Amino acid sequence: MFNVATRGSTTSPFGQRMNMVDELNEIVEILSPIKKQIVGAIEGNHEFRALDFMDLSPTQILCGKLDIVYMGISGVVNFKVKKKRSLSGGQWQQNYYIYFHHTTGGGNTIGGGLNRVEKLGNIIEGVDCYCGFHNHKLSTSRSIIYKPNPDSKKVEERVVSHLTCGGYLQYDSSYAEKGMLRPTKLGSPRIRLDGIRHDLHISL
């Protein structure tokens, strides 16, 4: 969300539309009307510039101003969908687990970004979707994995989604144009979590 340009970064602080304090105020203004719908926030590589330079996290400050959860470098979120009328057998019809990580690298190809997201499976297993953000592209894939179920005593099929979550960097005169990176569609994906059957659907 923050650019955090410094004298040592790819982008110069003199080429920014605004400084970091103004960035913070604008982000708070944009997100305040929907802050009760925000689950939390994780760090990005640009914000790490401030952490590395002066041990200061603009993301953590933003979370404090909006009163939302600061998840640090990454986080798993459990989305509970559709309350049951009867509490027998649990309160919710469906539970979804999504792992959020900014990721690193990925290059200039769509497949490269998805490969980085797929590697998140080496960190944590059992989630329904892995979300990465670093390469600013919008792309998704679905995989099948088989997992033993000790309750049913069967090997069951699970669908796992991988998602690169896009971004909002304007291309003209940006470091992306300067570095001959491919222009990308701006925006975020939409993830729909079905409450009746276990189905996670992604729209780009």
Same domain? For 133 and 195 the reply is yes
Residue 139 has pLDDT above 70, yes or no: yes
Mean pLDDT (whole number) for 137-147: 92
Same domain? For 49 and 130 the reply is no
Percent of the chain predicted with pLDDT > 90: 51
List pLDDT tens digits, range 53-82: 777 899 999 999 999 999 999 999 999 998
Same domain? For 63 and 78 the reply is no
What's phi and psi for 147, nearest 5 deg?
A: -140, 130
Residue 92 has pLDDT above 90, yes or no: no
Q: Which residues form the domain of 164?
A: 73-204
Same domain? For 65 and 92 the reply is no
Residue 18 has pLDDT above 80, yes or no: no
Same domain? For 153 and 174 the reply is yes
Mean pLDDT (whole number) for 99-120: 88
List pLDDT tens digits, range 161-174: 999 998 887 777 77
DSSP annotation of 39: -
pTM of the model: 0.85
Same domain? For 126 and 157 the reply is yes
What integer best gives the mean pLDDT of the chain?
86
Same domain? For 64 and 83 the reply is no
Q: Rounded distance, CA 84 to CA 82, Å?
A: 6
Same domain? For 53 and 77 the reply is no
Same domain? For 4 and 97 the reply is no
Residue 132 has pLDDT above 70, yes or no: yes
Q: Rounded distance, CA 204 to CA 196, Å?
A: 23
Which among 39, 57, 72 is the end of a domain?
72
Choose among 123, 172, 120, 131: nearest CA to 41. 131
Q: Name the 3-class secondary structure at 68.
A: coil
Residue 14 has pLDDT above 70, yes or no: no
Pull the structure tokens for residue 6: 């410094």
Which among 53, 72, 91 is the end of a domain?
72
Report DSSP letters for 122-185, one per residue.
Answer: GT--S-SEEEE-TT--EEEEEEEEEEEETTTTEEEEEEEEEEEE-B----TTSHHHHTTPPP--
pLDDT score of 12: 63
Which among 51, 72, 93 is the end of a domain?
72
